[in-house]
Amino acid sequence: MKLALFGHRGKVGHVLAPALEAAGHEVRGIGRGDPIDVTGADAAIDFTTPEAGAGNVRACLEQDVPCIVGTTGLDLEPLGALAAERGLVVFHAPNFALGAVLMMRFAQEAAAYMPRAEIIELHNEAKRDAPSGTAKATASLVGGDPAIHSVRLPGLVAHQEVLFGGDGQLLTIRHDTLSREAFVPGVLLALDKLATLPPGLTVGLDRLL
């Protein structure tokens, strides 16, 4: 596919761009300050910032290009509405790492038996939004409005623990993203399934599995 990649020089983007090319896609990187011209692209991928991402996605939809959004902290509802209006797809995964999706699924299962939960999410200090999109998605799956604790420190990539406390016992479900290669298979899966999704917004890698 012909792809426009917003944020190709970022921590995720610079791992993703060569991986997409190795998978046979043609990638055009669009960085900060570049004109948002996605003419001829089959899809756009955004891994930028909450401030930039919404404008990038809107501009792509206005140019009739469907979008895969990795950027977290965006207000996706208006973008989903615009996409639906134009018969286009916007796909967002709060976390493109398969192990993280399984962590959320297992946490949802555990919550049925151990409802007292709290979430600790730990990310690199460069991550601007808190709590993380994954933590918010996990909280809504677990239910009961669990407290979310956000840690931002150098050295971290993306990590999350869901702790379930019961009388005399503690269950911890933990996922660690150790490098940004973890996000590549999820993005490739989203590209593969993009044409099969209904117009408008679809959220979550689990919807593609």
Beta bridge partners of 67: 44, 90
Query: Interface residues for ligand NAP in 22-41 (CB under 6 A)?
Result: 30-32
CA distances (Å), origin 173, targets 25, 58, 108, 184, 200:
35, 36, 11, 23, 32
Q: Report the C-alpha gap between 107 and 92 in whole angstroms.
A: 21
Shortest Å distance, C-beta 39 to ligand NAP: 17
Encoded one letter per residue, x for contact with ligand NAP by CB under 6 A and - for no contact, window 137-166 reads: ------------------------------
Shortest Å distance, C-beta 30 to ligand NAP: 5
- Contact residue for ligand NAP among 11, 58, 86, 149 (CB under 6 A): 11
Q: Is 93 one of the binding residues for ligand NAP (CB under 6 A)?
A: yes
- 68 φ/ψ angles, rounded to the nearest 5 degrees: -110, 120
- Contact residue for ligand NAP among 3, 41, 44, 47 (CB under 6 A): 47
Nearest residue (CB) to ligand NAP, 66 versus 94: 94
Set 127, 136, 159, 193: catalytic member: 127
Q: Is 203 one of the binding residues for ligand NAP (CB under 6 A)?
A: no
Beta bridge partners of 175: 160
Please identify which residue in the block is written with the tokens 């917003």. 6
Q: Report the C-alpha gap between 45 and 1 in whole angstroms.
A: 12
**In the sheet where 2-6 sits, what is the strand order?**
26-30, 2-6, 43-46, 67-69, 89-92, 200-203
2 is an active site residue: no
How many residues would you count in the chain?
209
Q: Which residues are catalytic?
A: 123, 127
Contact residues toward ligand NAP (CB under 6 A) are: 6-7, 9-13, 30-32, 47-49, 52, 56, 70-72, 93-96, 126-127, 183
